[in-house]
């Protein structure tokens, strides 16, 4: 390969009456999206640079929310930088903030947030893996919801990455991702962290190792807290503490298996039985699987398996190229 992997989606490829649903199927795997359906349009171009994904996005006005339920369902904890092209109001557990046009918001996907309705016009969005950022910024959650004003040096760097993304060679990806994490740390925390922050960083790294192991073993019948402890090298008490904020390690495994089963159902397009997919991901009670699936995603697994038409096709495409969870596996082998 002479260039890095790139993915593009444009609602112009979908019939007008299905455009918003197609867009929501793409982003709805990790965020709740709301917008008027009439005359909706959106486009995103996503480029993978080692442990960083660079996106350019344009879209009709939409609200975006990442809830605690979403966080429990997918377990993602990347750091997302969003350079907005229009002003909007944002809310996190730290309070409400107004974000002016051209500013950069910092969000950690393990923390909830809401964004008021705003249009996108070639907005720049960077997603960086937790372990990459933690090497220079030991406690990224402390900066969740931060707003960097327009004109920051980081903004010019983000714009440059977006404009040159399609011409970057694979060998340059690792260096650019590392430089971005260093620049973010220099912008947010110019002094070295305390020893207490470093200790929290070690726990964050251990949590990431556990999550990587879980991703690799989702289909393994023996995946359990005991096997995680043995193979990752962590005590049961530490393991339970690491996952306490997401409802416990067993709940996290169940949520990730539900997510994987959802992607498999969308990809199968009715060619595999729901029960076969459920058994493949460790669910032995099909009725309980169906209830949990409906509670998590708002429809029964059989309904997704039987779906047809443009929205179902988009669902299948995005399940195959899930821009968040699939990227997590790709950048954290």
Which pLDDT tens digit goes with each residue over 105-143? 999 998 999 999 999 999 999 999 988 888 888 778 888
Name the pTM for this structure. 0.62
How far is the C-alpha of 178 from the C-alpha of 78, rounded, in Å?
14
Among residues 258, 243, 218, the alpha carbon closest in space to that of 110 is found at 243
How high is the pLDDT of residue 268? 79
- Domain positions in the chain are 6-188, 195-331
pLDDT band at 267 (very low <50, low <70, confident <90, very high): confident
Among residues 148, 67, 138, 147, the alpha carbon closest in space to that of 109 is found at 67
Name 65's bridge partners.
Answer: 32, 114
Which single residue is written with the structure tokens 């995946």?
223
Asked which of 28-32, 43-47, 113-117, 161-165 is least confident by mean pLDDT, the reply is 28-32
pLDDT band at 195 (very low <50, low <70, confident <90, very high): very low
Per-residue tokens: 278: 């459920």
Per-residue pLDDT, averaged over 182-201, amounts to 63
Percent of the chain, pLDDT > 70? Answer: 86
Among residues 37, 42, 45, the alpha carbon closest in space to that of 11 is found at 42
Region 6-188: CATH code: 2.60.120.10
Q: For residue 176, with 0-12 CB atoms within 10 Å meaning exposed, 13-18 middle and 19 or more buried, which class applies?
A: buried
CA angle 188/199/144 to nearest 5° reads: 35
Classify residue 306 as left (phi > 0), alpha (psi -120 to 50) or beta.
Answer: alpha
- Whether residue 177 contacts residue 99, with contact meaning beta carbons closer than 8 Å, is answered with no
At residue 283, the 3 state secondary structure works out as coil
Through-space distance between the first and last CA atoms of the chain, rounded to whole angstroms: 20
How high is the pLDDT of residue 325? 46
Which of residues 73 and 290 earns the better pLDDT score? 290
pLDDT band at 299 (very low <50, low <70, confident <90, very high): confident
Asked which of 273-282, 295-304, 315-324 is least confident by mean pLDDT, the reply is 315-324
How high is the pLDDT of residue 315? 46
How high is the pLDDT of residue 202? 63
Asked which of 77-91, 101-115, 167-181, 184-198 is least confident by mean pLDDT, the reply is 184-198
How far is the C-alpha of 134 from the C-alpha of 185, rounded, in Å?
9
How far is the C-alpha of 300 from the C-alpha of 260, rounded, in Å?
15
6-188 matches 195-331 in fold? no
CATH superfamily ID and name for 195-331 = Homeodomain-like (1.10.10.60)
Q: Name the average pLDDT for the chain.
A: 83
- How many angstroms separate the Cα of 325 from the Cα of each of 131, 260, 282, 293, 321? 15, 9, 19, 18, 9
């Amino acid at each position: 390969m002479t260039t890095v992997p790139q993915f593009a989606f444009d609602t112009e490829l979908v019939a007008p009456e299905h455009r918003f649903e197609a867009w929501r199927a793409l982003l709805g795997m990790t965020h709740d999206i709301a917008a008027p359906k009439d005359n909706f349009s959106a486009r995103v171009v996503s480029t993978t640079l080692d442990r960083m994904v660079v996106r350019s996005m344009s879209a009709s006005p939409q609200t975006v929310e990442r809830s605690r339920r979403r966080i429990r369902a997918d377990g993602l904890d990347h750091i997302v930088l969003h350079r907005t092209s229009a002003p909007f109001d944002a809310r996190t557990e730290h309070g409400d903030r107004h974000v002016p046009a051209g500013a950069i918001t910092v969000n950690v996907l393990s923390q909830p947030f809401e964004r008021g309705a705003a249009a996108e016009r070639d907005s720049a969005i960077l997603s960086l893996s937790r372990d990459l950022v933690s090497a220079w910024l030991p406690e990224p959650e402390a900066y969740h919801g931060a707003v960097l004003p327009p004109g920051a040096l980081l903004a010019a760097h983000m714009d440059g990455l977006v404009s040159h993304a399609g011409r970057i060679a694979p060998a340059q990806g690792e260096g650019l991702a590392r430089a971005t994490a260093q620049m973010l740390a220099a912008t947010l925390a110019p002094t070295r962290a305390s020893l207490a922050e470093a200790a929290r960083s070690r726990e964050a790294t251990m949590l990431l190792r556990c999550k990587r192991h879980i991703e690799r073993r989702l289909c393994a019948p023996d995946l359990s807290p005991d096997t995680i402890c043995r193979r990752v090298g962590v005590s049961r008490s530490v393991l339970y503490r690491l996952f306490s904020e997401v409802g416990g390690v067993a709940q996290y495994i169940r949520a990730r298996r539900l997510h994987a089963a959802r992607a498999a159902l969308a990809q199968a397009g009715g060619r595999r039985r729901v029960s076969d997919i459920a058994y493949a991901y460790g669910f032995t009670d099909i009725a309980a699987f169906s209830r949990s699936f409906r509670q998590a995603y708002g429809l029964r697994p059989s309904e997704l398996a039987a779906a047809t038409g443009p929205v179902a096709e988009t669902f299948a495409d995005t399940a195959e190229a899930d821009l968040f969870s699939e990227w997590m596996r790709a950048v954290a082998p």
